[in-house]
Amino acid sequence: MDHTDEHEHVIEVTDLRRVYGGGFEAVRGIGFSVARGEVFALLGTNGAGKTSTVELLEGLAPPSGGRVRVLGHDPFLERSAVRPRTGVMLQEGGFPSDLTVTETVRMWAACTSGARPEGEVLERVGLGGRAGVRVRQLSGGERRRLDLALALLGAPEVLFLDEPTTGLDAEGRRDTWALVRALRDAGTTVLLTTHHLEEAEGLADRLAILHRGRVAASGTPAEVTAGRPARMSFELPDGYFLGDLPPLAGLGVCGHELDGRTVRLRTQDLQRTATAVLAWAGRAGVELRGLDARSASLEEAFLGIARDRAVAA
Ligand SMILES: Nc1ncnc2c1ncn2[C@@H]1O[C@H](COP(=O)(O)OP(=O)(O)OP(=O)(O)O)[C@@H](O)[C@H]1O
């Protein structure tokens, strides 16, 4: 029986815990949900618990505590109900290296119900021209694409992608993003883990930042970055000192540092800060080399969380 409909959450995680053999608690009571057709990103520093969480969603292990539901089922105890409807791209594919790309896909297709034609899947991931090549001759990025092809083979409703663009060059990354967007637009629900903040910012409808096994922040990228400071940096012109700038405190600046000649400002009011600094440079008739101004980004939120927690620890 299908327990889900269009409006329900396809993935539901409540107070989830994972404790490893030696007693180490890698996931410490996290919760989030993913709606049908959403792209949801799990972000976090190394060792934050992303893979430990995704493995529980994939049904590879039972949780030590809490609850996971995928398409309304327990992915570990009701594996046969969930697995045919999900696609999984692990961090390490581990294919036999002497098979060709096509042979690998065929082998996988034999264990996949309702597999798409192999040529179609290979075209989708940009491996159409590499069908006869042996896996051991593929580049690292091409292997990631093959991993993705296998995950897509059964036309899954839910796709789990563990660091899908690691090892891909800039073009490969963009292609993968376009593919994920196309899958989302066609109604596929995607849960991905990533280290690339830009990837999460550009791709995810919603995200959670994990830190030491807990959810440190979650929501849309705009919600997670709200309230975080913007940044501005430039080189101090020759012969000028920090004290020559207009008074920073009155401009919304909440932090500043001088690194060599480079001034880095963190500000709650980028427009006011930038206007005042540029007006000052105009009056002084100086050029601000290396001028850069950017709004609050996920990177700022991410670094802020790591910083706040380090202070709190
Ligand atoms: N099988 C295991 N036994 C014991 N500890 C483990 C095991 N697997 C992972 N851990 C520990 O659990 C913590 C979380 O690991 P996990 O791989 O889930 O993090 P991650 O967020 O995916 O990190 P990364 O970005 O480095 O892949 C780490 O401290 C890791 O050392």
Could you tell me the residue ranges of all domains in the chain? Answer: 9-222, 230-295
Ligand 1, residue 48: give the atom nearest the CA: 21
pLDDT higher at 140 or 313: 140
CATH fold, domain 230-295, is Alpha-Beta Plaits (3.30.70)
Q: Could you give the ipTM of this predicted complex?
A: 0.95
Distance CA 255, CA 167 (A): 35
**Mutation test residue for ligand 1: of 52, 207, 302, the one with most atoms within 8 Å of CB:** 52
* Token output for 311: 């202070």
| Phi, psi dihedral angles at 96 (to 5 degrees) | -60, 125
Cα 57 to ligand 1 centroid, rounded to whole Å: 15
Q: What is the pLDDT of residues 209-262, one digit of tens each?
A: 999 999 999 999 989 988 888 999 999 999 999 999 998 888 899 999 999 999
Among residues 306, 305, 226, 219, the alpha carbon closest in space to that of 32 is found at 219
Q: Do domains 9-222 and 230-295 have the same CATH topology?
A: no
pLDDT higher at 290 or 93: 290
CATH fold, domain 9-222, is Rossmann fold (3.40.50)
Q: What is the pLDDT of residues 163-220, one digit of tens each?
A: 888 888 888 888 889 889 999 998 999 999 998 888 998 899 999 999 999 999 999 9
pTM across the whole model:
0.84
Distance CA 29, CA 16 (A): 5
> Does the CB atom of residue 26 touch ligand 1 within 6 A?
yes
> Does the CB atom of residue 60 touch ligand 1 within 6 A?
no
Cα 161 to ligand 1 centroid, rounded to whole Å: 17
